[in-house]
Structure 1
C-alpha cells in the first residue's frame, strides 16, 4: 500500500537528519579539540592576541595576550561544544523515537547553542572584536559562517509547524 505524500510529510525526518548532522559535526569538533588540544589552542591564542592582524594601534588594545586567559577561553569553547553535541545527540535520538514535541524543544536549545557559539563567539567576537578577518593564517570566519548558516536552516526546519499543528 502506498501513501500519497502530503505537505510537511518529510518535515520530521528532515529536522531529525539536520539535527543529527550537526550533532555529529560538533561532536567531532569537540572530540578533535580534546584529543588534539594544541592545534586549535594555537588558533585561539593567535586570534585573541591579534598578532597576525594589521596591528592597528586603535584596535590592539583589545588583544588578550595572557596565555592563561587564552587557554581559559579555549577550554570554555570546548565545554560549550561538548554540551552542544550532547544536547543535539539527545535531540536526534528523540526525533528517531518520534517524540516530536520534546525533540523540537531539545533540538532548538542545541541549535541555539551552535548559533551563539558560531554567530556571537566566532563571527562577532572573533571576527569583529578581535579582527580575525584581517588574518591570512588564523581566520576561521568561512567555517563559522558555514556552520552558522546550516544551524540556522536546521532551526527553521525544526520550528516549522507540522501538518497537524497547521491544521489546528
Structure 2
C-alpha cells in the first residue's frame, strides 16, 4: 500500500509543479514573456552567431508562443491532477484497477516531457541557441523538470501487485 501512496503523492507533486509554473507565468507575465522574446529573437546569443537567421522578431509570434507554453503547462498539470485522482481512487483496489489508472499519468508526463524537452531543450536550446545566452538559458532548469517527470513516470509505471 505504501508504494501506491508514494506513487500518488509523486504524481500530485508533479501536477502541483506544472500548475504552479503555469500560474506563475500568468501572474508574472512580463518577466517570463521577456524570456520567450529573448529566446526567439536570439538577441543574447553569441555575437556573430551564424544561426541568427532563425530568429523570430514578431511580437505576435512571441505572444502566441508564450501562451502556448502556458497552456501546455496548465494542461499538463490538469491531466496529472486527473491521473493522480484516478490512482488515488484505485489505491485500495486490485492491482489491475490501479495499473489501469496509469495511462492518464503517462499522458500528462508525456505532455510535460514534450514541453520541457522538445520545447525548451530541442527548440529553444538548439534551434534558437538559447544555451548561448548567459541571462536567458532555460536548458538547465528544463532538464531538471523533464528528468524529474521521467523518473517519476518510471517509478509509477513499475507494475503493482495485489
- Residue from 24, 29, 32 that aligns with 2:21: 29
Deviation at 1:103, TM superposition (A): 2.9
Paired positions, count? 156
Choose 1 or 2 for highest CA Rg: 1
TM-score, normalised to structure 1's length? Answer: 0.87
Pairwise CA RMSD: 1.4
Equivalent runs, 1:1-168 vs 2, <5 Å: 10-98=2-90, 100-164=98-162
1:20 touches 1:89 (CA, 8 Å); kept in 2? yes
- Residue aligned with 1:162, SS: coil
User: After the TM superposition, which segments of 4 or more aligned residues of structure 1 sit over 6 Å from their partners?
Assistant: none
TM-score, normalised to structure 2's length? Answer: 0.90
Q: Which runs of no fewer than 5 residues in structure 2 stay unpaired?
A: 91-96
1:11 touches 1:157 (CA, 8 Å); kept in 2? no
Deviation at 1:102, TM superposition (A): 4.4
Deviation at 1:31, TM superposition (A): 0.8
- Residue aligned with 1:163, SS: coil
| Residue 94 (structure 2) aligns with | none
Partner Cα distance (1:84, 1:65) in 2 = 28
Partner Cα distance (2:78, 2:51) in 1 = 37
* TM-superposition CA deviations, 1:31-78 (whole Å, max 9, x none): 111122111000000000000001434200111111111110000111
Partner Cα distance (2:98, 2:25) in 1 = 32
Deviation at 1:160, TM superposition (A): 1.1
- Residue aligned with 1:97, SS: helix
Deviation at 1:10, TM superposition (A): 3.9
